[in-house]
Structure 1
Amino acid sequence: MNGLGGLHLRAQWDGRAVSAVSVENSRPMAASVLAGRSVDEAVSLVPVMFSLCGRAQGLAARAACAAARGDDLSKLDAQEAERAVAVETAQEHLWRLLIDWPALFDMPERRSRFASFHKRLRGIAERPESAFDVGGELLDLVVLDLFGGFFRSAREPVTLSEFVECARASGDVGEVLAALLDMGASVPESADMALVRPRPAADWVACLGGLPSPAYCRAPTLAGVPCENGVLARQADSRMVSSLIAHRHRIAARLFARVVDLVDCASRLRRPLADDVLPLVDAMAMQDGIGLASVESARGTLLHVVSVDGDTVVDYAIVAPTEWNFCPGGPFEREASGWTAPDRETALRRLRALTLSLDPCVEYSLELVDAVDDGGGYA
C-alpha cells in the first residue's frame, strides 16, 4: 500500500553462512481501511492504495464487490480486464528484466528501452487495436534479445553448462542468469515448496470456505502448508523452469519464469481470453453478500474477498502474493539460510537476488547483521 508499512528482512551472518533469518511485515490489513465505506468508495479507493499492481488490485476489488452484490458478472468487460492485467504485468516484468536485475549485477540498465516499451504498452488503453502489434514487439524482444541465445541454439540445453552457454549468448538477462547459476545452487535440500498454481475462482471459494481471517491474510497457506506464489508457480510447467527447480536453482528459475510469463502476456495481448488458458480475472459469489475475485497479477495470484450489506462494505480481505512468499515457513525464510558463501558481500548479493526474485509488492529493507556468539564476540 502507498506509504503504509512494508517488510523488514533481517539475516544473521556467522562468517561462513547465513545462520538465521526473520521477516517483519507491517503492512496493515485491508479491512482497517475499507470496512464501513460504501462499495463504490471502496472500489475507487483500492487502486489508489497500491503503488504496485494498482490495476490488478482495482479489477479485483470491482469484481469481488460485483460478485458480493449479486451483479451480473457477464457485464464486466472481460477482454478489457484481461488486457489491462496483461499490460500491467508486462510493464512490471520489463522493469525487473531491463533495470533491476542488471543493476543488481553491476550491468548497464536499459532505461530507454524500458521507457519505449512502457509507453507503447500504456497506449493500449487508448488504442486497444494496437495490442496485437505491441504483443508482437514483446515477442520479438524475447526471441531476438532477452533469450536470443536459447532460440539460436541447435537444441534445447540439457545440462546446466549448456544452459549457461545459451544464457551468456542472450545479452544482459542471460548474463544475469549465468551469474546466478555460477553462484551455485540457491536452495537448501530441505527448501522445496508447494506452489500456488493458477485456478478458477470456484476453486478458491471451495478452498477458503468464507471470508479469510486477518491471521490467514497475513500468513496464508493451502491446507495448512506454506506455498510459493508468483511467476515460478505460474510457469512451473515450462520445461526449462522445471529443470532449474530440479537442480535447486530457484532464484534463476524465477528469473527465467519471468521471461516466460512476459511471453504469456504478449500472447494474451494478441489473443485475449483464449480457450486453452484460464482468464487472468475471475470472480464468484461465495455466499449471500460475500464475493471473491482472483487475479493473476504480475506478482502472482491475488485474492480479494468482500462482505457487503446493501451498499456498505462490512469486511474486506486481501490475500496478496507477498504474504505467501514472506510468511513464516514461506520461500524467503526457507531459502535465505542453509547455504554457505565465500564472503559477506556474496551472501548479501544472494539475499538481494532472492528478495528480488520473489518480488514483494511493498517497500522493503534488507539487513545482514553479524551473528554474536555467547562470549560476546563475532562467530
Structure 2
Amino acid sequence: MHEGSLELALTWDGKRIVAAKVASQRPQVASLLRGLPAAAVSDRVRQLFGICRQAQSAAAALCVRSARGERLTPGALDELALPVALETISEHLCHLLIAWPTLLADPSRPPRVADCGDWRRRLRAAADRRSAAAIAADLLDWLGEAELPSPGDESPPGASAQLLPVLPATEWERMALVEDFALRPTLAGEVAETGALARQVGDAAITRLLAAGRRLAARLLARRLELRWLAAALAEPPRLSALLDACPASAGVGVARVETARGTLLHRLELAGDGIAEYLIVAPTEWNFHPQGAFVREISGCPAASPEAARFAAERVALSLDPCVPCSCRLVDA
C-alpha cells in the first residue's frame, strides 16, 4: 500500500517565510479494517504499516481485547510493550545517526549508516527479556560516549504549539468522538505537539533550551534522553508498561494508546458481533502536521534570505517533528 506524503507549501517574501500550509496525501488506512473479523485485525495492521509496525499492531491487539472486555494483565502488557520499546529505540537511532547527518550534510560528521545498521540488526534479533537487557547495557555505555548531531544555529520559533501530555486511554474516548478528530486532532480545541519532547519536557536541560527558543535542539536532546530511559527500562520490563494501555469505552468499543518514537498513537474500534464496524487511527503526524499545528506555527515568520535558506529551515523543522511519510517543500511568492 502506498504510504502517502506531505506537501509543505511555504509563502516567502524574500526575507522570511510569512506563512505555511500542509497538504496531506496520507491514505486513510482505518477504512480498510472495517468489516474484517476482529481476530484478523492485528495481523492486517502489521501488513499495512511499514513504519511503527510493532506499535500499530500492539494498538490493534489492545483495542480488540478491550472491546471484548478481556482483562489486560501486567504480563500481557509487558509482552506487547517490549517489541514497541525495541522499535522505538531503532527509530530514534535511525533519526539521530542517519536522518539528521544527511540533512545537515557536514563532511566532518557523515551519516553513520553502518553503526545504525548494527544496532537495528541487534534490536530485531532480541527475542526475549534477557537479550533485550544485554542490548540495554551496551546502549547505555554507547550513549555515554556517542557524539550525536546538533541542529546548528536556529531562530526562535515565531509561535509554538502546546506539548501533548501523556494521557491514559480512558482520557481519549470522549475526544476521539469529535468530528474529524482522526484527521485534525486537537486537545480541548487546541493544536498540540506530540513526541519525545512532549514526554521529556520535565527535564531541566530541556526547559533551558525551550526558554532560549532552541526548540530543534530540545527535540534532539529529548530523543537522547528517551533512548537512555528506554535502555534502562529494558532491564526492568515492568517500566515499559508506561508505553501503552487500553480501556473498554463501552460494550464492544475499545480504545488504545501507544507511545511511539514520533509521539502518541491512538486506535479506537467498535465491534459488531465479531467483526469490525468502525475503526479510527490517529497517528502522531496528524498532530504535528495539523493545518494549524506545530510545523505551521513554528516555521511561519522564520527568517530566510534565499529560497534555499527557506527550504532548509522548513526541512529542519519538519525533520525535528519526524513525519511518518516523505514530505516535500515548495515555495510560493508572497
Q: TM-score range by the shorter chain?
A: over 0.9
Residue 226 of structure 1 is matched in structure 2 by: 191
Shift of 1:356: 0.5
- Secondary structure of 2:231's partner? helix
- Secondary structure of 1:22's partner? strand
Deviations 1:88-141 (A, max 9, x none): 00000000111110111113011111111111111112x431111211111112
Match 2:182 to one of 203, 213, 217: 217
Residue 195 of structure 1 is matched in structure 2 by: 163
Deviations 1:271-322 (A, max 9, x none): 1223xx8621101100111000100111111110000012100000011110
- Secondary structure of 1:215's partner? coil
Structure 1 Cα separation of the partners of residues 332 and 291 of structure 2: 22
The structure-2 alpha-carbon separation of the partners of 1:244 and 1:346, relative to structure 1 and needing over 3 Å to count, comes to same
Contact 2:66 2:254 in 1 (8 A): yes
Contact 1:200 1:278 in 2 (8 A): no
Residue 110 of structure 1 is matched in structure 2 by: 112
- Secondary structure of 1:216's partner? coil
The structure-2 alpha-carbon separation of the partners of 1:199 and 1:213, relative to structure 1 and needing over 3 Å to count, comes to closer
Match 1:239 to one of 204, 208, 229: 204
Shift of 1:222: 0.8
**Matching of residue 35 in structure 1 with residue 34 in structure 2:** yes
1:347 partner letter: A
Contact 1:138 1:266 in 2 (8 A): yes
Deviations 1:149-196 (A, max 9, x none): xxxxxxxxxxxxxxxxxxxxxx3x24x24x1xx2332x11xx132111
Residue identity over aligned pairs, in percent, reads 38
Paired residue total: 331
Contact 1:303 1:319 in 2 (8 A): yes
2:39 partner letter: D
Shift of 1:366: 2.1
Residue 306 of structure 2 is matched in structure 1 by: 343
Contact 2:256 2:268 in 1 (8 A): yes
Q: Which ranges in structure 2 are unaligned for 5 or more consecutive residues?
A: none
Structure 2 Cα separation of the partners of residues 304 and 370 of structure 1: 36
Contact 2:129 2:234 in 1 (8 A): no
2:333 partner letter: A
Contact 1:15 1:343 in 2 (8 A): yes
Structure 2 Cα separation of the partners of residues 136 and 201 of structure 1: 31
Structure 2 Cα separation of the partners of residues 282 and 48 of structure 1: 22
- State the TM-score, normalizing by the size of structure 2: 0.94
1:219 partner letter: R
Structure 2 Cα separation of the partners of residues 31 and 110 of structure 1: 35
1:139 partner letter: L
**Matching of residue 128 in structure 1 with residue 129 in structure 2:** yes
Structure 2 Cα separation of the partners of residues 88 and 74 of structure 1: 22
Structure 2 Cα separation of the partners of residues 287 and 193 of structure 1: 32
Structure 1 Cα separation of the partners of residues 308 and 7 of structure 2: 19
Structure 1 Cα separation of the partners of residues 328 and 222 of structure 2: 25
Contact 1:199 1:278 in 2 (8 A): no
Q: Larger Cα Rg: Structure 1 or Structure 2?
A: 1
Residue 269 of structure 1 is matched in structure 2 by: 234
The structure-2 alpha-carbon separation of the partners of 1:35 and 1:76, relative to structure 1 and needing over 3 Å to count, comes to farther
- Secondary structure of 2:73's partner? helix
Shift of 1:213: 5.2
Match 2:219 to one of 229, 242, 254: 254
Structure 2 Cα separation of the partners of residues 192 and 138 of structure 1: 32
1:97 partner letter: L
Deviations 1:241-292 (A, max 9, x none): 1211111111111111111111121112111223xx8621101100111000
**Matching of residue 138 in structure 1 with residue 139 in structure 2:** yes
- Secondary structure of 2:271's partner? strand
Structure 1 Cα separation of the partners of residues 269 and 178 of structure 2: 12
Residue 371 of structure 1 is matched in structure 2 by: 333
2:16 partner letter: A
Q: How does 1:151-162 map to 2 (within 5 A)?
A: none
Contact 1:82 1:273 in 2 (8 A): no
Q: Which ranges in structure 1 are unaligned for 5 or more consecutive residues?
A: 146-170, 373-379
- Secondary structure of 2:88's partner? helix
Structure 2 Cα separation of the partners of residues 251 and 33 of structure 1: 36
